[in-house]
Amino acid sequence: MDRDGVIIEEVDYLRRPEQVRLIPGAARAIVRLRRAGFKVVVVTNQSGVGRGYLTRAVLADIHRFLRRRLAARGARLDGLYFCPHAPVSAGGRRCSCRKPALGMLRRAQRRFGLRLKRDYFVGDSTTDILTARRAGCTAILVRTGKGGRDGVYRARPHKVCPDLAAAAAWIISKT
């Protein structure tokens, strides 16, 4: 799943741990998914690092803060992957990890033995939906965050849910 707009409130270039606000019901949804036997893995584009808005150390602080906030509600992430690169490098090149590329998903797949064609991907943007489609995952769009209104790609989800809690309930109902 994506991070911003799915688990935490969307903030334009989140730069400090204090800006992290859990979306209501997100922690409980993660607990429910894990109890149902799912691995909960976050893949998130964080171009603020590549653009110089924050350092990798600050991003690590943000992720530690997020994990602590989730843990205080009984939730735990199995993995958290991020792409620190700007969308296009100074040389005009694109990295292989930035969504909708599949680099982060492939890393998670290797680490956790995921079967992407049988897995679900929850996101709030058309970039997330295209990522899911390219990986062969069931693409779930949540209406929190961007809610699919970013219009970057013409990618259609398999399912639309109001939030992560509803997406988790739907995913669990399919097993």
Which is catalytic among the residues 4, 119, 128, 163? 4
Question: Residue 58: which residues within 8 A CB-CB, separation 6 or more?
Answer: 15, 16
Q: In terms of Cα–Cα distance, which of 33, 27, 2 is closest to 142?
A: 2
Question: Any bridge partners for residue 160, and if so which?
Answer: 141
Q: What is the CA radius of gyration of the chain?
A: 15
Which is catalytic among the residues 2, 119, 124, 163? 2
Examine the residue annotation and report whether 4 is marked as an active-site residue of this protein: yes
Gap between the Cα atoms of 69 and 84, Å rounded: 22
Residue 100, token pair as written in the block: 């909708």
Active site residues: 2, 4
